[in-house]
């Protein structure tokens, strides 16, 4: 039996410092992203982070919203195909924070699968979304190294 993972530090003291990423699938045609953003604007959904990865036929728009529950309902109501996944949102408080975060993750043999900056800042510092192969272990490692992780209520 393994030892329980200690409570992880988040900005608000929550135990699960994860944000929700929505991966929206769009045909790779001119105007599709603009149309999606128009729907989100009409529904008064605030985008806290976005990354677009395209291929010949499809684009995957990775998005973090300030209100994930509302975002889920809006996407379903409009028939927009999506999946959800947990991300770590790490506050980068120093010039070498990104390197130090990666160094801590490598030392724990954790792989960063992708990362992108969020559109929000926390106390003037940038916030980076990370997708890793083990979010629970990564959150433990990062908080042990002094990083602040945000949870969906913090964005």
Task: Give CATH 3.30.2130.10 domain extents, the chain.
Answer: 19-85, 86-150
Measured from the Cβ of residue 105, the count of other Cβ atoms closer than 10 Å reads 22
* Cβ atoms of residues 45 and 72 within 8 Å: no
CATH annotation of 86-150 = 3.30.2130.10
pLDDT at 16: 58
pLDDT tens profile 106-153: 999 999 999 999 999 999 999 999 999 999 999 999 999 999 999 988
Is the domain 19-85 a CATH 1.10.3720.10 member? no
In this model, does residue 7 exceed pLDDT 90?
Answer: no
Portion of the chain with pLDDT greater than 90, in percent: 81
pLDDT band at 17 (very low <50, low <70, confident <90, very high): confident
Strands (E), the chain: 19-27, 47-54, 58-65, 82-91, 112-122, 125-132, 149-150
Q: Has this prediction a pTM greater than 0.95?
A: no
């Amino acid at each position: 039996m393994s030892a329980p993972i200690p409570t992880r530090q988040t900005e608000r003291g929550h135990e699960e410092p994860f944000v929700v990423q929505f991966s929206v699938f769009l045909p790779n045609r001119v105007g599709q992203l603009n149309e999606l953003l128009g729907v989100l604007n009409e529904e008064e959904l605030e985008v806290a982070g976005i990354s677009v990865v395209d291929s010949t036929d499809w684009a995957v728009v990775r998005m973090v919203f300030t209100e994930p529950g509302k975002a889920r309902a809006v996407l379903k109501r409009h028939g927009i195909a999506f999946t959800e996944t947990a991300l770590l949102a790490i506050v980068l408080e120093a010039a070498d924070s990104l390197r130090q975060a990666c160094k801590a993750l490598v030392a724990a043999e954790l792989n960063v699968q992708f990362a992108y900056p969020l559109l929000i800042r926390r106390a003037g510092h940038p916030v980076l979304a990370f997708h890793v192969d083990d979010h629970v272990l990564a959150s433990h490692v990062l908080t042990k190294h002094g990083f602040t992780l945000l949870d969906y209520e913090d964005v």
